[in-house]
Amino acid sequence: MNNSMNYGKHLCPIAHSMMTRVVVYFIKHFNDISSVLVTLTLFLFNINVVYYTTHTIPLLGLAKAFSHGSFFLDSSYCKYVDTVLVDNKCIFVAPPGLPLILSPFLKVFSSIEPLVVGGFVVAVFGFLAVLSSWAFTSIIIENRRKALFYVVVTALAGPLWVYSTHIFPQAPIAFTYTFFTYLALKALRDNLKNWEYVLAGFLASLTVLFDPAMVIAVVGVALVALIKLVYDVKGGVERPSKILLYTVLFLLGATPAATFYIYYNTATTGSPLSSPEFLWLEKIGVPNHGFTTPITEGLYILLLDVRKGLIPLCPVFILALLGIPYMLKAMKSKYEKIMYLLALVLPLVIHAAWYDVDGGLSFGPRLAVPVTMLLAPPLAYATRFRSRRVCVILWLLVLYGVLVNSVTVTVTPYPSTFEDLKPYQNQFLSSVIPRLSENIRSSNLYTILKELGEPLSTITSTH
């Protein structure tokens, strides 16, 4: 199948002004692995080293507890949010995936501030999300160098940059889910090796360990690959034994994380199918296992609400969404089309129904972050015409998104909650910008400048 787009020598033909030459030079030299390393550097330099929150503290506490073989927090942690006290045992109610991943790093680097250690680990996961999106985008547009450009644009002008600089599970989920979707796409094209089925199962279960709500999306994507395999068997392309082999390999990869999660649930709630989050929902009186928001309202909050919506804060995704029909039209396999739509839509729909759809004290639509790295391919298709107008719009939207993120990661990753904002207010304009005048900067970059004695570091906060 040839889904490649006939890109010209330049991304788009703008008049030969000095700015045009600078832009064209940048694009021609952008498509290199050094671009990914620059992205990693930005993530690492801007991790939050100042602000602990009432969510971060018990999360890091559970990571330390895991390193000592315990599933429970010290009772002193139960004064913080996202904890419950049951039978004199303090339980962290958020998913255990990120604390589990952080646990060995906190133990090895015990002499370093936990906020810094956790920040570096999450930043590396953000970097891995860029790599997995690069692989995913390359297989769709069939041009690795152009794919890298759109992936880095998506990462830096979208929310991944912000969520690679502080301790939330969204950057790790973006990596595991995008990589899993990439492997599923390879499976649809019969290009997946046996060991990659094991890897796909492990990534799928790890995604669920980070966020149990992702199980529906993971199962949906996996089912498309399974159905395609069944039809291949019926058509004589594959032998029936292949279905059993690939299923066993997938489940084998999923076993370690799934076993841990079952054991963790049983130890904390007494039931393998009941997560600690249900205890929290019962504590605060939220019914229906937390799914109480009308889906249409939730999608509006995630995508369009001027306060914290994805598009108001990262408008480059307007072009990405417009490019989806063009990308689907270029896909010759109906299985690929269905799989992509399920991978993109199911996480949004499920999280849109969540009672805390806006993601609490965080920048932008936290729960929508993992799917944003799947939008790099349609962004490429949206700009495939290389017209002057589209090119100008692309660069304006990208520059705005990068500006928003570059200010946010240095000022504060926790500007305000959804409820703090009036319907016409915007989180960046109403919460981040006013904090520029305060004497606090959250970014690791300012700590480095302070150690170097640079004048800019005088506005860095100590912690």
Q: Which residues contact 123 (CB under 8 A, 6 or more apart)?
A: 40, 43, 44, 47, 164, 165, 171
Task: Measure Cα distances from 202 to 126, 176, 249, 250 in Å.
Answer: 18, 9, 10, 8
**Which of 271, 254, 272, 253 has the alpha carbon at shortest distance from 262?**
272
- The answer to whether the CB of 316 falls within 8 A of the CB of 154 is yes
Gap between the Cα atoms of 103 and 262, Å rounded = 19
**Which of 426, 252, 398, 380 has the alpha carbon at shortest distance from 314?**
398
DSSP state of 183: H
SS (H, E, C) 190-255: CCCCHHHHHHHHHHHHHHHHHCHHHHHHHHHHHHHHHHHHHHHHHCCCCCHHHHHHHHHHHHHHHH
Q: Spell out the per-residue pLDDT of the chain, length 463, in tens.
A: 333 333 333 344 333 344 444 445 444 544 466 778 889 999 999 999 999 999 999 999 999 999 999 999 999 999 999 999 999 999 999 999 999 999 999 999 999 999 999 999 999 999 999 999 999 999 999 988 889 999 999 999 999 999 999 999 999 999 999 999 999 999 999 889 999 999 999 999 999 999 999 999 999 999 999 999 888 877 777 678 888 999 999 999 999 999 999 999 999 999 998 999 999 999 999 999 999 999 999 999 999 999 999 999 999 999 999 999 999 999 989 999 999 999 999 999 999 999 999 998 899 999 999 999 999 999 999 987 667 788 889 999 999 999 999 999 999 889 999 999 999 999 999 999 998 888 788 999 888 888 887 666 545 444 4
Gap between the Cα atoms of 277 and 253, Å rounded = 25
Q: What is the largest CA-CA distance in the chain?
A: 72
Residue recorded with tokens 């390359």: 138
**Which of 434, 460, 301 has the alpha carbon at shortest distance from 366?**
301
Pairing of strands 89-92, 83-86: antiparallel
Residue spans per domain, the chain: 18-31+54-404
DSSP state of 419: G
The pTM for the full model equals 0.91
